[in-house]
Amino acid sequence: MKFLFKFGLVVSVITTSSLVFLILAFLLYFSIPLFDSAIFVGFFTQKWDVSKSLYGLLPMILGTIYISVLATFFATAMSFSLASLSEGFLPKKIATVVEGIIVLLAGVPTVLYAFVALFLLVPLINIYFFMGKGLSIFTASFVLAFVVLPTIYVMMLSAFRGVPKKHIKTSLCLGATKKEVFFSIMLPQAKPALLGAIVFGFARSVGDTLIALMLSGNSLHMPNTLFDSARTLTSHIALINANDYESVAFKAIFLCALLLFIFTFFVVATLKYLYKEKRYA
Amino acid sequence: MEFDAIKIEVENLTLSYGKRVVFENLSFDIFPRSITALVGPSGIGKSSFLKILNQMIREEEGLHVEGKVLLHNKGLSVDILKLKECELPSLRKKVLYVAQHPDLLPLSIYDNVAFGLRLQGIGKNDINNRIEMSLRDVFLWDEVKERLHVKADILSGGQQQRLILARALAMRPDVLLLDEPTASLNEELSLKIEDLLISLKQKMTIVMISHFKEQVKRVADVIFEMRLPS
Amino acid sequence: MHKIFQKIIIFLFYFFAFVAFIALSVFFIFIFYKGVNAFSIKLIFDDTPPLDALMLQARVFNGIFNAIVGSFFVVFVSIILALPLGFLSSIYVACYASKNVRFWMGFLCELLSSMPSIVIGLFGLSVTIFLHKNFFAELYPSLLISACSLAILVIPYIIKMTESSLCQIPFSIKNVGLNLGASKTQNLFFVQLPYVSKEILGGIILATGRAVEDTAVIMMTGAVAMAGIPSSIFQKYEALPFFIYHISSEYSSKEQINQGFGAAILLLGVSLFLFATAFALRKIISKRSGFGI
C-alpha cells in the first residue's frame, strides 16, 4: 500500500514535470522541418499570403506586440490606480469591497468580455467614432485590459502589502499624511514588485486568444495605426484550417506557438530571478 | 525661536482591549515645560498611554479608548480623542513619540532625520542645519558625520536609539514622548542624554517612561506611578 | 511643485478607477439585462420536453442543452484526470522533495500556468495528429483530447494551491503526528491533509472554474458547433464557451444572438459561483483557529 503510494507520487511528479518538455518537443517536432529551408528568414520579414506562398509571421508578431503593449498600458493605469487607492487612500471598508469585486472579476470568462464588446463597444465605435473601424487594435486592447486587470491588481496589492507595517507606522508617527506615506514610503519600496506585476500582466495579455480573435479583425495586413485591424500570434493559431497537416502554412503555426513558448519562458525566468522565491499568483 | 508651551489634561481615561481593561479612569495633568516620568510594572499600559497622546493608538487594532485628553495651547483647548483622521498628521508633528525599539526607515542616516523635516516643508539649507544640530545634541554627529549617506541600519543599537531621538528633536516638537530613551545606552551616554532632557524642558513638555529609578529621581519634575489594582 | 505633481497623480488614480468602474458596470448591466431577458427554458431545451431531454430520451436540436452537457462532461473528465496527478505531485514536492527539485518543479509549474492556453490546445491537437498518423488511425480531436488538454491547463493550479497550503501549515501542527510516533506518511494522511482539506477543495474549485471558462483549448481539440450529446469520449462535442464564440462569429438572426446571451449569463453564473465559493472558502480558512476540519 505504502509502496503503491510512493510509486504513485514518483510517477505523477515525472508526468507533470515532463509536460512542459513534451509541449516543447512537439512544437519542435512539427516546426523543425522549417528550420533548414530557405524560407526561414521569410517568416520574420514577409507578409502572410498563402496564394503567393508567402508565410511571413511579421504582421502577427507586430499585431501581438501592439495589442498587448496597449492592453498592458490600459490595465496598468487602471489596476495601479485601484491598488493604490485601496491600499493607500480609501477607508478600509470601501477598500475591502473594491478588493472583493476585483478579485471576483478574475472569474469572469474571457469569452464573455469579447462577446459583450462585440455587441456593445464595436457598434458604438463603428457608428459614433470611426466608421467601420470597430474591430481594431484599440478595441481589442481596451477590452483585453479588463481581462488582465485583476491579475495585475492582485499582484500590486501584495506588492504594497509587502512593505513592512512598521515603516508605515513610523512615518505616521512623524506626522506624515496618508498621501506622504504613500509617495515617500510605500511606492519606492514596492517598486520592484510593482514592475513584476506589470511584466506578468504583459505576459498574460500576449497569451490571451479570444479577445484578439473576436475583436481585432484578424486582418493579415501590417498594422499601422491604432484603428487598424490586426491579427495576433494566438489568434493566428486559432484560425488555422487544418486540412493539410503537411503544408508549410500548417507548420508555420507551430513556429508561432514556439515563439509564444520562448516568450513565456523568458518572462517566467525573469520574474523568478526578480522575486527569488516562490510566488503564488 | 519661540516654542509653544502645551499643557495636557487627562480626564477619566480608560483603555480597553476587547473585554480586558488595561487601565481605568486616569485623571491627571501634565504641566508645560516639565518632565513627567511614568513608572510601573511592564504590561500596565505605559507605552499605550504615550501612544494615546499622539493618537498612534488608532493604528493598533482592537484597542478602545474612552475619556478626554485635552491639549491646552495659547488659550485653545483641543480634545485629541475627537480629532478627525485628517487632523492627526499635524498633531503628530507637534506631539512626537520616540519609540523604545529604534524604528528606522529603510533610508540613509541623513534621510531618516530629513524625512520628518521634509514633511514639514522645510528648505534644504535649514534641513542640513537642523540635522547637524540635532545629531550634535545626541552626541552622534562625530560618529556619523563621515557616513551620513549610508543606510541607517548599519548603526549599533545605541546609535540607532540616539538617531531616532535626534530625528524627533530636529522636528522641534512641543511635546516629546519618550519610551525608555536610554534603555540601550551605556551609563556615560545615559547621563549625557539625561542632561540633554533637562536642558530641553526649557522649550518643551516631556513625558517619559523609564525603568531606572536613579534616572527618574534625577530628571523628573513629576513622577506618575501606575500600579496594578490590589 | 512636488505637491501639485502628487495631487495630479491622485486625481489620475480616481479618474482611472472611475473609468474602470463605469466600464465594468456597463459590462455587467448589459450582460445581465440581455441575458436575463433572453433566458428561458425554451432557450435550453428548444421544443423538446425538458424531462425527456434530461433522460436523454429525446434529442435537443436548437437549444443550448447539448453545450451544457458537453461542457459538464469535458470539465468533469479533465478534473478527474488532473486531480490525482496534481495532488500527488504537490504532496511529493511539499513533503519529500529536496530544495533543488522543489525549485525546478516550482519553475516548471509557473511556466506551465503562464503558457498561453492556445499553445496547450495546439499541443493537444499535434499529439492527436501524431498518434493518428503513427498509431491509432481512428483517433481524432474529441472530448477525451480536450479533457486531457484542459487537465494540462489546470494541473499547475492544483499543484500550486495544494503545495502552498501544505507548506503553510503552522509549525506546531505540522509535526504533531511525528512527535506521537507516526510515520511520515501517517502524519501526512492523519494530520496534514485533514488540516488543509478546505484549501485543497478551494484549489479544485478554482481549477474547475478555469476549465469551464477556457475556450482556446477546446476550440483546438474537438469542440464543434453541432454535435449533439456525445455517446463516447472519442466523439466531438459542444461546449458553452465555444458556443458563445461560434454565435459571435456566425450568427444569422436576432434569436441566435439572444441564445448567445442566454448562454453567456449561464456561463457567467457558473464561473462566478465557483469563484465566489473558492473565495469564501479562503475567507473561512483565514479565520480558522485550531484544528479546523
Inter-chain CB proximity A78 and C115 less than 8 Å: no
What grid cell was written down for C85? 496527478
Beta-carbon pairs below 8 A across chains A and B: 54
The pLDDT score that the predictor gives to residue A276 is 66
How many structural domains compose chain B? 1
In the predicted structure, residue A279 carries a pLDDT above the cut 60: no
pLDDT at residue A46 in the model: 76
**Do A173 and B54 lie within an 8 Å CB cutoff?**
yes
Residue B2 confidence (pLDDT): 44
- With an 8 Å Cβ cutoff, is B90 touching chain A? yes
Chain C: closest CA distance from residue A45 (Å): 23
Q: Where are the alpha helices (DSSP H) in C143-287?
A: 143-167, 171-174, 176-179, 184-187, 193-195, 197-213, 216-221, 240-250, 254-287
| DSSP summary character for residue A222 | P
Nearest to A174 among B59, B86, B119 (CB): B119
pLDDT level of residue C1 (50, 70, 90 thresholds): low
pLDDT, averaged across chain C: 87
Work out the minimum CA distance from B229 to partner chain A, whole angstroms: 31
Please give the pLDDT value at position C190: 83
Number of H helices, E strands in chain B: 8, 9
Residue owning grid cell 491639549: B71
Q: Average model confidence (pLDDT) for chain A?
A: 87
How high is the pLDDT of residue B1?
Answer: 34
> Among A36-45, B187-196, C87-96, where is mean pLDDT lowest?
A36-45
Q: What are the sequence ranges of the domains in chain A?
A: 47-275
Residue B105 to residue A170, Cβ atoms within 8 A? yes
> Angle CA(C184)–CA(C190)–CA(C193) in degrees, nearest 5?
90
Residue with cell 475556450: C215
Please give the pLDDT value at position A86. Answer: 93
Residue A114 CA to residue A217 CA, distance in Å, equals 12
B171: contact with A, CB 8 A cutoff: yes
Strand partners, B14: B66
- Given CB atoms, is A237 within the 8 Å cutoff of chain C? yes
Range in A269-278, B200-209, C238-247 with the lowest mean pLDDT = A269-278
Task: Determine, for residues B167 and A174 on separate chains, whether the beta-carbon distance falls below 8 Å.
Answer: yes
Instruction: Give the residue-averaged pLDDT of A240-257.
Output: 80
Taking the Cβ of residue A268 and every Cβ of chain C, the question of whether any pair is shorter than 8 Å is answered with yes
The per-residue pLDDT for range B119-136, each reduced to its tens digit, is 888 888 999 999 999 999
Q: The CATH number of the domain where B186 resides is what? A: 3.40.50.300
Q: What is the pLDDT of residue A264?
A: 95
Q: Confidence band (pLDDT; 50, 70, 90) for B4?
A: low
- Chain C hits for A26, CB-CB cut-off 8 Å, are 123, 126-127, 130
pLDDT at A22: 94
The pLDDT tens digits of the residues spanning A52-87 come to 777 788 889 999 999 999 999 999 999 999 999 999
Does the pLDDT of residue A186 top 80, yes or no?
A: yes
Q: Is the pLDDT higher at C51 or at C217?
A: C217
How large a percentage of chain C has pLDDT more than 90? 42
The verdict on B56 touching A (C-beta cutoff 8 Å) is: yes
Q: In this predicted structure, what is the pLDDT of residue A64?
A: 94
Task: Rank A123-132, A137-146, B175-184 by mean pLDDT and report only the highest.
Answer: A137-146
pLDDT digits (tens, 9 = 90+) for C100-123: 888 899 899 999 999 999 999 999
In CATH, what number does C37-287 get? 1.10.3720.10
| pLDDT tens-digit series, residues A195-248 | 999 999 999 999 999 999 999 888 888 888 888 888 999 999 998 866 667 778
3-state secondary structure A104-154: HHCCCCHHHHHHHHHHCHHHHHHHHHCCCCCCCHHHHHHHHHHHHHHHHHH
CATH code for the part of the protein at A47-275: 1.10.3720.10
Q: How does pLDDT run across B22-61, given as a tens digit for each residue?
A: 888 888 888 888 999 999 888 888 889 999 998 888 888 8
Q: What is the pLDDT of residues A149-164, one digit of tens each?
A: 999 999 999 999 999 9
Give the per-residue pLDDT at B230.
63
Q: Is A167 an interface residue toward B (CB < 8 Å)?
A: yes
Query: Residue B230: inside a domain, yes or no?
Result: no
CA distance A99 to chain C (A): 12
Sorted by where each begins, the domain ranges of chain C are: 37-287
Per-residue pLDDT, C255: 83
Q: What would the pLDDT profile of C32-66 be if each residue is shown by its tens digit?
A: 998 888 888 777 877 777 777 777 777 777 778 88
Average pLDDT, chain B: 87
Per-residue pLDDT at A127 exceeds 70: yes
More confident residue, A98 or A131: A98
- For helices C254-287 and A110-119, the axis angle rounded to 10 degrees is 140
Give the range of the structural domain holding residue B54, as residue numbers without chain letter. 7-225
What confidence score (pLDDT) does residue C293 get? 37
Report the pLDDT value the prediction gives residue C292, as an integer from 0 to 100.
Answer: 41
> Given an 8 Å threshold on Cβ–Cβ distance, is B91 in contact with A180?
no
Across residues A172-182, what is the average pLDDT?
89
Residue A93 sits at the chain B interface (C-beta within 8 Å): no
At C242, give phi and psi (nearest 5°).
Answer: -70, -35
What φ, ψ does residue B222 adopt, rounded to 5°?
Answer: -130, 135
Provide the CB-side half-sphere exposure for A1 (13 A, CA).
Answer: 2
Region of B33 on the Ramachandran plot (φ > 0 left; ψ -120 to 50 alpha; else beta): left
**Residue with more model confidence, C191 or B191:** B191
Q: Does C153 touch chain A (CB under 8 A)?
A: no
pLDDT of residue C75: 95
Q: How far apart are CA C150 and CA C77, in angstroms?
A: 9
Q: Which residue of A has its CA nearest to B97?
A: A173
Percent pLDDT > 70 in chain C is: 97
Confidence of residue C272 (pLDDT cuts 50, 70, 90): very high
What ipTM score was computed for the predicted complex, to two decimals?
Answer: 0.90
Interface of C with A in 219-258 (CB under 8 A): 219-220, 241, 244-245, 247-249, 257
Judge whether B1 lies within some domain.
no
Which of A89, A173, A179 best probes binding to B when mutated, by most B CB atoms within 10 angstroms?
Answer: A173
At residue C169, the pLDDT reads 84
Q: Determine contact: C30 vs chain A, CB below 8 A.
A: yes
